[in-house]
Amino acid sequence: MTLIKQDLSAIGQVIDDKLSGMCTDLSDQIAGVRDEVRTGMSVLRDGRRTDLVDVTDELRGEVTGLGQKLHTDITDFGDALRRVVAVIRDDLHDELALLESRMRSKFDLLRSEVRDVRSGLGVDIRIAQRANARRFNVLSDELTTHGVPG
């Protein structure tokens, strides 16, 4: 279980790092696009419409590229997360199998000990019954020999 907690902690750290990196990259790219939009606006103010169309097309291409990159990053992240979950699931399965094996061993040992105690008690009871029967026979014989009919 300690390994699982460590794995989950490591996964959480990887997720935090990956999301933080993705957000930072996206923020930087958005800032770049924002700067280009400002440039485009200044071009518009200067009256150069042709440049504005070029800038708009360039921005459209960059936004499309950003979307594709974000999609790829999210897909890669999802794939990595699936692999980590599979490893954790396998670790849990192994841990549970080991626990089950230990429990079966302990149960078998306990069952064996109970069997030994029962058989030991049975032997002790039979010995006590024989001893009591001998005592009864001796007392019965003594009573019969001393004149008390049995």
C-alpha–C-alpha distance, residues 118 and 134, integer Å: 24
pLDDT at 147: 65
In this predicted structure, the answer to whether residue 48 has a pLDDT above a threshold of 60 is no
User: What SS3 class is residue 150?
Assistant: coil
User: What's the pTM?
Assistant: 0.42
Which residue from 81, 74, 75, 76 is spatially nearest to 7, judged by alpha carbons?
A: 81
pLDDT tens digit sequence for 50-80: 566 677 777 788 778 887 888 888 888 888 8
Residues, the chain: 150
Looking at every residue in the chain, the average pLDDT score rounds to: 78
Give the phi and the psi of residue 100 in degrees, each rounded to 5: -60, -40
pLDDT at 58: 78
Give the phi and the psi of residue 97 in degrees, each rounded to 5: -65, -40
Which residue from 100, 22, 21 is spatially nearest to 66, judged by alpha carbons?
A: 22
